[in-house]
Every structure is written in structure tokens, then in C-alpha cells.
Amino acid sequence: MDYYYYWDFVESLYDTTFTLFFFVLMCLMYYIGVKGYRAKNSYGGISSILCGVCYLIFGYYNSVVGGGFFSYPFNGFMVWWIFMILVFNLIFTTIIRGDIKRMRGETDNGKVGSRKESILRRYIKKMTQENPYKDDIPFKMELIRKSFHLSGFLLLIAFFGFLALPPLTSLVNDGIITMIQQFEPSYNFIWGDLSNYPFVFGDPQAVVEITMFALIGALAFVIVSDIIRIVWGPEYSIFNFLTKSMLRNKEKNAAGPQIYIITGIIFSYMLYMADIIDIFVFFAGILIACLSDASAAIIGKRYGKHKITLRNEEVKSVEGFVAGVLVAYVIGFVFVGPVYALMGALIFFLTDYLPAVTADNILNPIFIPIGIQFLVFLLGLPIGWF
């Protein structure tokens, strides 16, 4: 009996640690949001605080709703993933600090330019010797930044698969089962009895939970790096180093757009897990949020001739507007049908072209699925109705 009590305690400890992770993020986002707002970056400040509110809800959901986000041992896997991310970022920041000290020593000794500079040193110079935050960025960098939005396709393949390819999350689950069966004694020692693993081969519930695991795992990776960027400086951000993307002024003293969109996607997927929205409504919403925003930005940047000044004084174009709304309707048509697609396109229009002081990257993936599901409730028509 003590054996089972022990593993119940371990499961509870992992759940508590995971919940605490969200509450810590909530506090940090509130601190960053206030910092950004006081630095007159109301857009980034309010958006960061809104992320903090989402993390509060995530922590509450994980601690109160039965089962939380994950079954055991996946809550333990996530805690260890977060720990490894923290260690990895600590190592990276230590390397950067050491290189900065060596560069200063070489400058004092007159050795600058005496040898070929490494990629890391060129990156440090770029981040420290010039302002990395820009009002406007080149088209090439816009493509790099918006390519992150293509992750919506990866999420689709992870959940549904593609043609003959089964869902990637199902393949992951099958691979985990095969692996732990081969190392059963070690697994039993670290995670408890193998019979308590929550899924079987081809289990559809594994698809649901492992998809959320991938989303929160991605959030943990980018948000730790982004918090370091904000608190210590952009040169210490490993995400910024890997993507080599320019930073906009809206990201100074505020979270980056990748944080907003992943947070919004997790929020809507949480609503699906709670049986509040339909899975096709979820995918219609997040793909509209990802692809319509990217289409509007890229088309507007490349072909935009007719400019529009928005309420927040941001300048966009009619061409970008048309591209974004058209893509939004097409995506909605495919996933939820022509009637509900109108709602998705309308909400995209309202959040992307009539903004106030909050990032559309967090508003779109939350409000589009909620708006479509609300219309489903009002009309009562089947999703995909023609």
C-alpha cells in the first residue's frame, strides 16, 4: 500500500510544480507588462498582462479541473522538460556573459579584429552595439517572422495526420510505449508501474493530451528565452539567436508575438479539452489566426500600395486587408462551412484592422474560435453545413 501512496505523492508533486510554473509565469508577465506600460509601450504592456491572465487561468485549470492538462507521467515529463529548458538557457547566458567579458578584455588590450569572429561574437555585437529594436523591418525578415505562423499546419498534422500519415501525436505515443516496454525496469523505478501508463497503442486520448503537451512545451521553450531577453537583454536570448529575426519596438519591454499566439492557441485548445468548443471550430480559429495574419502582413508588405492608418496609428494596406480576410474565409469554409466562415472572417477583420492596444496575435486565436462556437450555439446548424 505504501508503494501506491508514494507514486500518488509523486504525481501530486509534479502537478503542483506544473501549476506553480504557470503562476510564476503570471507574475513575471504582470511585472513585464507593467514595465512595458511605464516605458510607454502600452501595446506590449497590456498584451503581456493579458498573457499573464491566461497563465492564471491555465494554473487554475491544471489544479482544479479533474486530471488537469495531462495524465501522469506526462505532467512529470513536462516538469523535466521545463527544468532542462531552464538549464539550457542558463548555460547559454553563461557563455554569452563569458564572451562579452573576453571581448571587453580584448578591447582594453587593443586586440579587436585580430582574429576571425565567430557567429556568436557577430551576434553579440549586433545586439549590443546597435539598437536591435526597429520600427520597420525588411521584407525578408518579415518572411522569417511570419514563417512561425506555419506551425498551424504542423499542429493540424499532429492532430489529424496527413493523407496516409496518421496523427504525429499517435506515432509519438506508440513510440513511447514501445520504448518503455524495452526499458521496463528503469521505467518502473523512475515513473512507477508500467501498467499505470495512461494510453494504449492508437489511443485517441493520447492524441488530445500529447497535442497539448507539444503546445505547452513550445510555450515553455520560447517564453523562458523571451523573459531573459526582456530582463537581461536581447543578446542573452537563445530564441533570438536561433531565429536571427529582427525585433520590433513593440517588443521592447514586452513579450514577443510568438508568445502571444502560442498562449492564445493553448487557451482555445483548453476550451476544446473542456468540451466548450468543437475541434473543427478550434482549427478553423487558430489557422485563421496564423495564416490570415501572415498573408495580410506579407501581401501588404510586398504589394501594398493603398495605405490605411489605423486607430493606433499603425499603417497597413488595402491589399493586405483583402488578402487576410479572403484567406480567413477560405479556411473557415473548409473547416466549418460558409455560414460560420463569415464569423471567422469578421472577427479577424475586427481584431486585425480595428485594433486598440492589444496584440491581435493573442486576440485572434481566442476570439475567433469562441465567436464561431457562439454562432453555432445561436444558429444550431451543423458545423460544415452547406
Length of the chain: 386
pTM across the whole model? 0.91
CA distances from residue 36 to 56, 317, 360 in whole angstroms, order as listed:
20, 28, 17
Q: What does the pLDDT read at residue 37?
A: 86
CB 318 within 8 A of CB 304: yes
14-31 mean pLDDT: 95
Largest CA distance in the chain: 75
The chain-wide mean pLDDT, for the chain, equals 85
Beta strands 315-317 and 307-309 are antiparallel
Q: What does the pLDDT read at residue 4?
A: 67
Q: What does the pLDDT read at residue 171?
A: 93
Model confidence pLDDT, tens digit, residues 148-177: 667 778 888 999 988 788 899 999 999 999
Q: Which amino acid is at 2?
A: D
Domain range list for the chain: 2-275, 277-386
CB 206 within 8 A of CB 169: yes
CB 247 within 8 A of CB 346: no
Q: Residue 165 gets which letter from DSSP?
A: B
